Amino acid sequence: MSRWTNEFLDHLRSQGDSLADESVAKMLQDGEIKHVTEIFKELDQNNDIPPKDIYPQLEAFFEVTNQLPENVDHERIKRGEAVFIDYAFAGALALLTKSLPEGYQAPNLANILHLSGNLERHPYHRLLAVLQMLVNVNSSSGFEPGGKAIIDAQKLRLLHAGIRHICPQYLPDYREKYGEFINHEDMLGTIIAFSYLLLMGLRKMGYKIGKEKEEDYFYTWRVFAVMMGIHPPDKPHSFEYVPDSVEDAAQFYAMYQERHYVDAEQNPHGVSLAAANLAMLEDLVPWYLNIFGVKSLPRIYMEKLMGQKACKNLALPLFAGGKIIENVLVRLPSVLHIVFSPLRFTRHILFGNQHSLGMMLFQRMINVEFGHSVTFTVPEDLKAWIDMG
């Protein structure tokens, strides 16, 4: 019997992140919230300086959150990071056409994401911010002391605490209907999107990664989930709230879908977010390729990777072309991977190590748009949150 019962998941929905919430409350009380952006930028640029030395008032938070769970398998983390590096392009495609939009079926997520309006107005920024996190989590030494994955987890916990501070005045009925803002169940659902759903997207594209590699990739995100605060309040190193395996993640996700995914009429903000995501993907297709029907590719991938039911829930148009064309296009990346991977030079350039072309391209896209790596901050009010976009 699955442990992901309604009773257990309701328990997770009642929990936020008291450590981060208390830290942000103190910063707000001291009028220091405006300095957090500077702190985060310093952390991005100089990992040698302990965070507590930059901002002593947050010493307790950084001290507790800087510790990896006990008995973490660092070699397994490295193997998990290598999986994303090997499949970076296809992984990004699965992220764009499955991981991100599929979650918009849940109004408990969509209503919060819609509040700032940034996803509708700046969907490309959202994409790049998520890509930055994936690059950081899967970068070499990301989970070493001062590593990018650890720092991202710390920053996101403070960011979420800031949003929990803002939301009640704009969504006064939310807690009664959905539970705590950015609670453990929803955070876990997001982690599952970047791990389990991404793997399922690769499977549907025809990639045969193998069970061991899938589990290694998922293990990396299990560790990141704990670093994000998804654990019992008094057990900061516990994996109690996190699925044990890809199969366990499937059981969690099945329950999450059943509990939260609704149709388009009940979820107008989710429909709006999905439409913005599709429009962004279509805009990324060069105009001169439209004559070959390439602009239909985003719809094809979303329909094949998410399924028709999810597309209908999000009021996304279904592809009217032939099934043969759909299947060929969806599986094309995996075929190219099989053809080119054995070539030593090509494999070294595309899939060789943490400096793979895919990872470098993602970081280049981010740097061109933002001028630097994405730097998170903690919004003090709704205007500040909107301005972050």
Give the dihedral sign, CA 244/247/249/254.
negative
Range of 174's domain? 28-387
- pLDDT confidence of residue 348: 43
Averaged pLDDT of the chain = 80
In this structure, what token pair is assigned to residue 166? 């803002």
CA distances from 68 to 49, 236, 237, 238 (A): 18, 9, 7, 10
d(CA 47, CA 312): 45
Number of structural domains, the chain? 1
Continuous H helices in 287-322:
297-306, 308-313
For residue 5, which phi and psi values (nearest 5 degrees)?
-85, 165
Low-confidence stretches of the chain (pLDDT < 70) are 30-55, 117-126, 287-294, 320-389
Calculate the CA 227 to chain-centre distance: 14
Q: How far apart are CA 14 and CA 142, in angstroms?
A: 30
Q: What is the pLDDT of residue 196?
A: 98
Contact 142, 7 (CB under 8 A): no
pLDDT tens-digit series, residues 224-251: 999 999 999 889 999 999 999 999 999 9
- 16 within a domain of the structure (yes/no): no
Note the pLDDT of residue 216.
Answer: 98
pLDDT reported for residue 28: 74
Give me the pLDDT at residue 52, please.
62
Per the domain annotation, does 315 fall within a domain? yes
Please check whether residue 8 lies inside any domain of the structure.
Answer: no
pLDDT the model gives residue 41? 59
Determine, yes or no, domain membership for 14: no
- 5 domain-assigned: no
Write down the pLDDT at residue 381. Answer: 47
Q: pLDDT per residue over 255-290, tens digit each?
A: 999 999 999 999 999 999 999 889 888 887 776 666
User: Is residue 4 a part of any domain in this protein?
Assistant: no
Q: Which of 280, 347, 374 lies closest to 88, judged by CA?
A: 347
pTM of this prediction? 0.83
In a domain, 1, yes or no: no
Q: What is the distance between the alpha carbons of residues 36 and 40, in angstroms, rounded to a whole number? A: 6
**Is 6 within a domain?**
no
